[in-house]
Amino acid sequence: MTKQIWLNLPVKDVAKAKEFFWKIGFSFNEQHDTPSSTCMVVGENHFVVMLFKESLFSDFSQNNITDTQLSSEVLISIDAESKEEVDELAKKVKEAGGKIFADPAESQGWMYGFGFADLDGHRWNVLYMDFSKLS
């Protein structure tokens, strides 16, 4: 049925959003860049996150854009390979201007992670999961 799935997110400034995510270690497929959008590629399976200028995004969705300062529409989770990678990404997020809303910490005895908001307030969750400790 489906060949691929990707995520579309509205951003106020495409260039600033791209710079933020580049600084924290994400890559881009610039063949798909336009003045109103950029194509971010995440992980080994090359999951695509399209960042669209808010006006273009609302044209596509035919709906209002959520005020990310007041509510969350989605929590985007990504995995990490180690606790050290979690800590390093948290440091990069701070340096790039993101907001940490949950500091790196253990959770449920088998996960270690943190939460951050990007420049547009979209919330991300980064987790290292040690399945050997899962009970």
What is the C-alpha to C-alpha distance for residues 30 and 81, in angstroms, rounded to an integer? 26
Task: For 75-92, give the secondary structure using H, E and C.
Answer: EEEEECCCHHHHHHHHHH
Residue 119: closest CA among 74, 72, 69, 48: 69
What pLDDT score does 13 carry? 97
Helix (H, G, I), strand (E, B) or coil at 66: coil
Domains 1-64 and 74-135 share a fold: yes
Every domain of the chain and the residues it spans: 1-64, 74-135
Share of residues in the chain with pLDDT > 70 (%):
99
- pLDDT of 88 reads 97
Q: What is the pLDDT of residue 41?
A: 96
Coil, helix or strand at residue 65: coil
Q: Are 49 and 42 in contact (CB under 8 A)?
A: yes
Q: What confidence tens digit (pLDDT) does each residue in 87-97 have?
A: 999 999 999 99
Element holding 18 (H helix, E strand) = helix 14-23
Check if CATH label 3.10.180.10 holds for domain 74-135.
yes
Output the six-digit token pair for 16. Answer: 């600033």
Residue 19, phi then psi, degrees to nearest 5: -60, -45
Percentage above 90 pLDDT, the chain: 90
Average pLDDT over residues 34-63: 94
Mean pLDDT across 53-81: 93
Confidence band of 4 (pLDDT split at 50, 70, 90): confident
Architecture field, domain 1-64: Roll (3.10)
